[in-house]
Amino acid sequence: MGDPEQRPTGPAASGPDGHGGLSASGWAAVTALGAAAITAAVTLVTHFVPSSVPPQQVVGEAVSPSPTAGAPVSAPVPSSSVTSPRSGLLTRLAGTWSGPARSGSQRYTMTLVVTSSCAEGLPCGTLTTDLLPCVGPISLVRINDGPEFDFATGSFSADSSPSCALRTNGGDYFLMGTDVLTYRTGYDAGLSGTLRRRG
């Protein structure tokens, strides 16, 4: 007959499956400690290890102010709206002027009619003298200092005297004063006159 089976004796405790090792409560404690250690490590790395991605830098840019919607925008004044000095002189000249004139010892009446559309190089009205008589359309050649207006006569009416002389290049000058025009010529120093506004 053999010896009876002997059970192991000693301090080792058996696990639930009959093998040696930690109990269920021991394994739970080890798991909890491991989880706590991982959490602590992640926290340390997050706070103390610098990130490899540089922080985004935001650079402020100056923004030019844009016009407010509905705000009035000033527009340049058209040059045509500005009255030129010459235009103002012609406005003053427009109308009917009449007065005594003389040619040497002969005296007669001269009448100058200037239209409102008068301009340099354009027809401007009529010049009439009752001495011969002479009635002719006139055009403005230029405006000289003074101001003095230089008129040309390119033709005469059918009822004018054949002795009336054409002045196609100008030469009949009218110097403007205060409601008075002083007449002279560039071709005969004996011709002169003083015309006043009649209308």
Query: Which domains does the chain show, CATH number per domain?
Result: 85-197 (2.40.128)
Quick one: pLDDT at residue 73?
54
Between CA 184 and CA 191 the distance in angstroms is 6
Kindly indicate the confidence band of residue 2, based on its pLDDT and cuts at 50, 70 and 90. Answer: very low
pLDDT in tens, 127-169: 999 988 999 999 999 999 999 999 999 999 999 999 999 999 9
Between CA 181 and CA 117 the distance in angstroms is 19
Q: Residue 111: what residue type?
A: T
pTM: 0.58
Between CA 9 and CA 16 the distance in angstroms is 18
State the first-to-last Cα distance of the chain, in angstroms, to the nearest integer. Answer: 169
Residues in the chain: 199
Question: At residue 112, what are phi and psi to the nearest 5 degrees?
Answer: -115, 125
Helices (H), the chain: 24-48, 85-93
Strand partners of residue 149: 143, 174
Asked if pLDDT for residue 199 goes beyond 70, the answer is yes
Single out the residue of 127, 135, 132 nearest to residue 193, CA to CA: 127
Kindly indicate the confidence band of residue 21, based on its pLDDT and cuts at 50, 70 and 90. Answer: low
Asked if pLDDT for residue 39 goes beyond 50, the answer is yes
Quick one: pLDDT at residue 38?
73
Q: Which two tokens stand for residue 22?
A: 């930690």
